[in-house]
Chain A
Amino acid sequence: MIYFDNVSKLYNDGRSIAIEGITFQIEPKEFVSIVGHSGAGKSTILKMIIAESKPTSGQIFFESLDVNKIPRSRLPQYRRKIGTVFQDFKLLINKTAYENIAFAMEANGRTDDEIAENVPQALALVDLTDKAWNFPDELSGGEKQRVAIARAIVNQPDIIIADEPTGNLDPIATYEVVQILRKINDLGTTVVMTTHNKGVIDELGRRVITMDGGRIIRDDVSGKYVL
C-alpha cells in the first residue's frame, strides 16, 4: 500500500544527506518497524509518508496516489487516511482526553452523533475509559500516548504512523503501548513504527527495516534488532 521508489532527500543543497536511494514497499495489514541510530533517516521516511517533507528525488506512492503530486488543498483529506502518533504525544493541553479525540473527529467533519459513539469506543480500546475527562497534565506518559493512539485510530485510518511512540516511556508503559499497537494491527490496520527500543522489536517478531546513514541496510520479514 506504500511504495518508496529510489527516494532521496538532501539538505543544504546536497551537502547533507537525510536518506539516499530508498526503495521499499509496505503491504496492507503489515506491522513494520524501522530501526536505526539517530539521524539514520527514520523520521524522514515517516514525514514523507504524511507529505510533510518532500523528497529531493524519487517517488512515493500511497496505493495508486503519488504523494508528492497531491495539491495542497487536498492534503487534509489525504492525511485523514493516516493516523499519526509521536514521541511527544502532541496532545492539545487545554482539552481533556475525550476532547482531544473528539477534536480529531470534528476536524474530519464528523457529526456529533458519530463522535458520541466512536470516542468512547476508541477510549475503551486503549483502556482509558475512566480517564476520559482528565487533561493531559493529569495523565502519565503512557496514558498520554494511549490517548494519542486513540486519537490516531478514531477516524479509522488505513495506516498508523508511529514515530518513536515509546521513546519517552518507562518499560511498563512501553509494553502497554506496543500491545495496543499490535491489537490495532490485528484488527486490520497497517502500522509503521520507528523505534530505538531493542526489547520492543525482539518481542514483536514482525518485519524490521534497519537503516544506517540514510540507507536501508537490512530488511527482515521476522526481524531482530541488530546494529
Chain B
Amino acid sequence: MRAGFVGFWRNAYVSLASIFVITIALFVIGSTMMIDKLLVVSLEQLQAKVDINVYFVTTAKQDDIDALRTSLEALPDVALVTYTSREEALSKYRARYQSDTVAMQALDELKENPLGATIAIQAKEVSQYENIASFLDEQKAGEEPQNPIISKINYADKKESINKLQNIIDAVERGSYISQIVLIVAAIMITFNTIRLAIYTAREEISIMRLVGAGNMFIRGPFMLQGLMYGFIAGVMALLILYPILLWLGPITGVFFGFNIFDYFVGNFSSIFGTLIGIGMALGLVSSVLAVARYLRV
C-alpha cells in the first residue's frame, strides 16, 4: 500500500506521462460517448418526423375508426397513434388556407365536410413501418365492399424515404460502433505500452524483489495500486477537459440538433463520471498486471 504511493511520487515523471496518456484515451472515449449520444438524439428526432397516415372515407363510422385505432395501439411496434377527427381536420384546413379565398369559397359551397378523419402512426423503430403497413393493408382488404372505412394508406408514398432513413441509421450506427471500437482499442494499446515502459524502469527493482523471495502479490501490489491511481486521476482530468468543451458546444448543439449536449453531460454526470473513471482504473490496473507479469516470469 505504502510502496504504491511512494512509487507514484518517486517516479513522478513517468507517472505524469502515464496519466497524460490515459487522460487522452479517456477523453477520446468520453468524446465518442458524447458524439454517439448526439447521433442517437438526432436520429430519434428524424424518426419522429416519419409516420404513416391512414385516411378514412367521410362515411366511415366512428365505431369502426375507434376499433381500428384501438387495435393499432395494441400493436407492439407502434409508438404513438394520433387521431384527427373530421372536425379537427376541417378546422386545421381552414386555419391553413385562411388567406386563400378561393379555397374558402369552395369549402363553403360544399354543404358537408369533405375531409375524412385521419390517423397518424409512429413506429418505435423505422424498420417496423413495414409490419404496420401490412397490418393496415390487411384491415383494408378485410373491409366489406358496401361499407368501406379506409380511403388511403400513404405508406407506399413514404416507403422510399423510410427505407432511406433506415439505411442511414444503420450506416451511422455501424460506423459509430466501428470507430468507437477502433478508438478504444488504440487507447488501450497506447496505455498498456506506456505503463509497460513505466514498469520497465522498475525491472531491476522487480528482479531484486524476486531475489529476496518476495511473493508475486507483494511485487505486483504497488504497481497495481499505481495503475489504479493513474486511472483515477486520468478520469478526473478527462472530465475536467470535457467540461469546458461541452460548455462551449452545448448552445451550438442546442441550436443545431435541438439537444443541448452540455445539459445532458451535467444531467448524467454521475454515470459519465463513473464510466470514465471505471474504464480508466480498469485500464491502469490491467496494464500494470500485464506489464509486471513479464518480469515475474522466471
Interface of A toward B, CB cutoff 8 Å: 50-52, 72-73, 75-80, 82, 84, 90-92, 94, 103-104, 106-109, 151, 155
Contacts and interface: CB of A to CB of B under 8 A. Distances in A.
B7 to A, nearest CB: 9
Interface of B: 10, 204-205, 207-216, 218, 298
Contacts of A73: 216
A104 B298 contact: no
A103 B212 contact: yes
A76 B218 CA distance: 10
B208 A76 contact: no
A72 B215 contact: no
B211 A90 contact: yes
A107 B218 contact: yes
A165 B100 CA distance: 108
8 contacts: A76-B213, A90-B207, A90-B208, A104-B212, A106-B218, A107-B209, A107-B214, A108-B213
Given A72-B298, A75-B298, A76-B216, A84 B10 contact: no
B10 A76 contact: no
Determine chain B's interface SS by DSSP, over half rule: helix
Contact of A77 (B209, B213, B298): B213
B101 to A, nearest CB: 93
A155 B213 contact: yes
Contacts of B215: 76-77, 107, 109
A75 B212 CA distance: 11
- In this complex, the member of B10, B207, B211, B298 whose beta carbon has the largest number of chain A beta carbons within 10 angstroms is B211
Nearest to A85: B211
Contacts of A155: 212-213
A52 B215 CA distance: 15
Contact of B213 (A52, A90, A107): A107
Contact of B212 (A52, A72, A107): A107
Contacts of B214: 76, 107-108
A84 B210 CA distance: 11
Contacts of B204: 90
Contacts of B10: 94
Nearest to A103: B212
A82 B213 CA distance: 9
Contacts of B207: 90
Contacts of B209: 103, 107
Given A52-B298, A92-B205, A94-B10, A76 B211 contact: no
A80 B213 CA distance: 5
A116 to B, nearest CB: 16
